[in-house]
A and B are shown apart, each in its own frame.
Chain A
Amino acid sequence: MTDVDRLFRTYNAALVRYLTRRLGDRDWAEEVAQETFVRALRQTAIQNERAWLFAVATNLVRDEARKDMRRRKHLALLAEEERESRVESEETTVERAQEAAMARKAVDALAERDRLALLMREEGLDYTEIAEALELSPGSVGTTLSRARRRLVESYEALQKAQNEREKNAAS
């Protein structure tokens, strides 16, 4: 097993999940993850593999040209999702779609650094790795994460509350 094979097997799942959550697009996420591993091939020595991979992936996502191109597709996807959630008769599916939409909204409302730190943490990166990947001081990761979590939960709850009120109004 080559080094890249090992890297791929060890980190691909987490990286793709992280990127998917970050981008809201699994295909795009897989593409970025692959590109990340390709870059790892060219690298002679990587100190902290996981931190390096997540950092490279995050930088790739920041590539504006790609983002712009993909954003259009992403918007198309969101539009499609919205259409789907309207047509879907199954209530659980609608609920899940609503949840996902609200989660997406809440995550998007976060500051980029908070968001990335949180997503990386969810993939099991420790504070040192997150600091390395995001070029933060290790001491600030806790603060970044606590802020990200609080804001995420609070904005999600606010969205949920608004949704409930809309439903109540629609019902009455």
Chain B
Amino acid sequence: MQHPDEGTIHSWLDGALPTRESAELEAHVQGCAQCAAAVAEARGFIAGASRILTALDSVPSGVVPVAKRSKSRDWPVWRAAAAIVIVALGSFVVLKDRVGRTDQRVSDLSSGSIASTQTTAAQTAVPQAAAAPTLNAAVPSQRETPRVGAKQMVVPEATGGVRAATPRAEPAGAANKPMVSGVQIADANARENASSLPVAGIVSAGQPTQFSRGNSAVAMDAATTSSLPRDVGRRRGVGASTTLYELSPGDTVVLTQATELRLESVAATGAATQRSVVTNGAGVMAKSAAPDTQHRAVAAQRDAQSTAQSATPPTAPPRGAAGVANASNTISWVDSATGARMTLSGRHSVRELEEIRQKIERLRAAEAAEKKRP
């Protein structure tokens, strides 16, 4: 047999040769080194060509991948957008919750905030009388005389921020002394601050002789609100840890944190806070023993007032000035972060304690943030 050509060798390797030819070629290749080399080369070409053609398969599928790829490039954008929406919704819920709670506190707060809101109200002349009824009726935890309560609730709303009512926004004007409860309103009115207010509620609250209060008490309140509480001692016990805060030399409050976690409290944080404040506030009110005459006077004024007063729930009796500076009071709430029951007690009015609580909470939050930092 002649040496087979390359095409025949490929045909043989591809199994395309007839049986007889195939056998002849096989026999020849076994005895012919040159053809054996040619067969080996052909095998290499077949395998090589096959491998090269397989490499074509790694080419991404056609025109469409361009669109597909651009789609996949959009993914991070969508993911980022989704993340922003989720974060925004989350913070909205949290903020809403906080604002709600702050409002609650504002209604309970007194010193500083009243003074500041008074001046704000005087300057902005917001329609408080109109807004007062609804707010007054809606907030069951008000412990001030109705007028004061209405004013406190309305002003921060109308001036567009709770911040206006926070102690930090204490004005430096004539009413710059931070004051507590309706007593300070009277005090401020005596300075002819509120007399020019166009709001009926505030003007009628300006009864300087009704609740006057000693300057010393006011001064003490000023000290309370202006200085930050200082952590002066801690004690950890089973089920509770106690922290002693010094507001000014010799003026201390005790913060007790129950360390047990109660599921119910966690589930209804906001409500629990409100409830505890109201309950304790009421308890303190009872202790504060405000003179009945004051109650009656306030009630009379309230009757003569607009519908804001008539809208006040009859079940909530008009209460006197909340807290007496020299009595020891206690407030308690459920910490929203830990779910622990917190108790704060000291020789301050409930409103002052509420304010101190806010400051302590801020302090604790800062501490917690500091701890988290590596």
Interface residues of A (CB under 8 A from B): 17, 20-21, 24-29, 73-74, 76-77, 80-81, 96-97, 99-100, 102-104, 106-107, 118-119, 121-122, 126-127, 140-150, 152-153, 156
Number of interface residues of B (CB under 8 A): 31
Contacting residue for A149 out of B46, B62, B65, CB 8 A: B46
Binds A, one of B52-60, B100-108, B123-131, B192-200: B52-60
Complex-state Cα separation, A162 to B63, whole angstroms: 29
0/1 string, B264-281, CB within 8 A of A gives 1 = 000000000000000000
Q: Report the minimum CB–CB distance from A75 to chain B (whole Å).
A: 10
User: A142 touching B8 by the CB < 8 A rule?
Assistant: yes
**A-B pairs with beta carbons under 8 Å apart, 22 shown:** A21-B56, A21-B57, A26-B59, A27-B61, A27-B64, A29-B62, A74-B63, A80-B69, A96-B55, A96-B58, A102-B55, A103-B53, A103-B56, A106-B52, A127-B16, A142-B16, A146-B7, A146-B9, A146-B45, A150-B6, A153-B49, A153-B52
Complex-state Cα separation, A21 to B63, whole angstroms: 15
- Cβ contacts under 8 Å, B46 to chain A: 149
- Cβ contacts under 8 Å, B5 to chain A: 143
Complex-state Cα separation, A34 to B50, whole angstroms: 25
A96, A140, A149 interface centre (most CB from chain B within 10 Å): A149
Q: Which residue of B lies closest to A26 (CB)?
A: B61
User: A118 touching B58 by the CB < 8 A rule?
Assistant: no
Q: Report the minimum CB–CB distance from B322 to chain A (whole Å).
A: 68
Q: Report the minimum CB–CB distance from B244 to chain A (whole Å).
A: 60
- Cβ contacts under 8 Å, A121 to chain B: 14
A-B contact count (CB 8 A): 119
B227 contacts chain A at the CB level, 8 A cutoff: no
Contacting residue for A73 out of B50, B53, B63, CB 8 A: B63
B66 contacts chain A at the CB level, 8 A cutoff: yes
- Cβ contacts under 8 Å, B61 to chain A: 20, 25-27
Q: Is the interface of A mostly helix, strand, loop or mixed?
A: helix
Q: Report the minimum CB–CB distance from A81 to chain B (whole Å).
A: 7
A107/B11 contact (C-beta < 8 A), A122-B50, A146-B6, A153-B49 known: no
Q: Report the minimum CB–CB distance from B52 to chain A (whole Å).
A: 5
- Cβ contacts under 8 Å, A107 to chain B: 52-53, 56
User: A145 touching B7 by the CB < 8 A rule?
Assistant: yes
Q: Report the minimum CB–CB distance from A140 to chain B (whole Å).
A: 8
B36 contacts chain A at the CB level, 8 A cutoff: no
B8, B44, B56, B69 interface centre (most CB from chain A within 10 Å): B56
A146/B42 contact (C-beta < 8 A), A26-B62, A27-B61, A103-B52 known: yes
A17/B57 contact (C-beta < 8 A), A141-B11, A145-B7, A146-B10 known: yes
A127/B53 contact (C-beta < 8 A), A25-B62, A146-B45 known: no
Complex-state Cα separation, A74 to B42, whole angstroms: 33
Nearest 9 Cβ contacts at the A-B interface: A26-B61, A143-B7, A142-B11, A27-B62, A25-B62, A142-B7, A103-B55, A146-B10, A153-B48
